[in-house]
Each structure stands twice: as C-alpha cells, then as structure tokens.
Amino acid sequence: MAGERRKFRREGEERRRDQLVAAALEIIAEKGPDAATVRTIAERAGVTQGLIRHYFTSKGDLTRAAYQSHMQRMNEVSFAALDSAPQEPLARLEAFVSTTLSPPALNGTAVGLWSAFLQMIRRDPEMMVVHEANYLAFRDRLEGLIAALPGQRSPAELRALAIACTAVIDGLWLEGSAYPEGFDANELAAIGWRAVSAILGIDTPARAGTGPRPTTKETLP
C-alpha cells in the first residue's frame, strides 16, 4: 500500500507540474514570454505562486521546462509517423517528411511559440542545451532513416545529408505554419519530399503523396 501511495503522489505531482507548464505555454502563445510571469502562470493554472516555486526553482526553470515540453511535443508528432509506416526504408522516410510538413505538425501556435522561445536561446545557455538536444533528436532520427536506404554512405556523408534535409524541412515547416493560407493542401509535403529526394539523389517522381495529408488549410488547434 505504501508503494501505491508513493506512486499515486508521484503521478499527481507530475500532472501538476505538467499543468503549470501548459499554463506557461498558453500565456506565451497568447501574449509573449514577458507576459508569462509567476503570477500570471499561477492565475492561469488556478494555484498559488508558492506552489509554482515548489516545482520550479525560478521563472527561468519553468520557461526551460515549457520549451522542452514544446519541442519534444513537436518532435513526437513526426516520430509517431514511423509507428504505422511501412517497413520499407524509402516509405518510412517519406512518411516522416510528409508528416512533419502536414497538420498537426504545421501549426500557427507551434511556430509562434518556437519564435518566442528562439529569442531566449542566445541569452540563456541552459535554453541552448534544450534547443540542441531536441534539434539533434530530430536530425539524428532523420539521419537514421537516410542510413537505412540502399547504398553506402560514410558517417560524414550521412551527417551532411541529414543537416541539409533538416534545413529544408525546417524552412518549409516555418513557412507553412506562419502562412498556411499561402499553400494548397499537400503542397508543402509534396515539395518537401521532392527536395529531400533531390538532396539524396533519389528518383521518386511518383511517390510523393503517400504520407498523411491535411484535409483543410486550417492549422490551428
């Protein structure tokens, strides 16, 4: 019974911590990072400021936790595509690229949060650590998908290809999230797959279009 009580308490504390992170993200998305004070976060979460200090040593600590949560959530959307993707390496790579360039990954709120946090990265070394870890998590997963394709590539070649493909995907994701009205459904996913194919030297003119696709231009949750 004591073990069950400890587990229940731990899970309850994790939920409370997640609620505080969610409240911080909501405020940052709506009003920017400067508006996300301990007081406003406490009010949004319906708790006392003292409770926030129980879970986080400072506002900076909470901000970094919010950034980690946001970046991890974005990565997980792309990673989840691989759970149901075919085992064939090329199809898995396309599913990964296409999902990253389709709703819900294309998301106005997500890009707004990303932009707000980006201002802090150069000022806060600990924020940079969070950024680096999540960037590398995405790039390394992409590199693994590239490595699984037929053909021999050196570690240096795989690294360079993953960096180039990540840059293309990031650029299209940014444009599609910030300006969804400017693109037709499936357009960015198809462009992204053609661009990645070109970088990798893959001739796949008829393959784009097999991954998850949006049914509307609306991207906000």
pLDDT digits (tens, 9 = 90+) for 151-196: 999 999 999 999 999 999 999 999 999 999 999 989 999 999 999 9
pLDDT digits (tens, 9 = 90+) for 53-86: 999 999 999 999 999 999 999 999 999 999 999 9
CB 49 within 8 A of CB 38: yes
Indicate whether 9 pLDDT > 60.
no
Arithmetic mean of pLDDT, 201-218: 50
Check: CATH 1.10.1200.10 for 69-215? no
- What does the domain layout of the chain look like in residue ranges? 1-56, 69-215
Map residue 113 onto helix, strand or coil.
helix
CB 145 within 8 A of CB 165: no
**pTM of this prediction?**
0.84
**1-56 topology per CATH:** Arc Repressor Mutant, subunit A (1.10.10)
Cβ burial 19-54 (10 Å sphere, 16+ → b, else e): ebbebbbbbbbeeebeebebeebbebbebeeeebee
CB 66 within 8 A of CB 25: yes
Considering Cα of 188, then 191, then 194, then 195, what sign does the dihedral take? negative
Residue 108 tokens, joined: 């106005």
| Helical (H) or strand (E) element with 216 | none
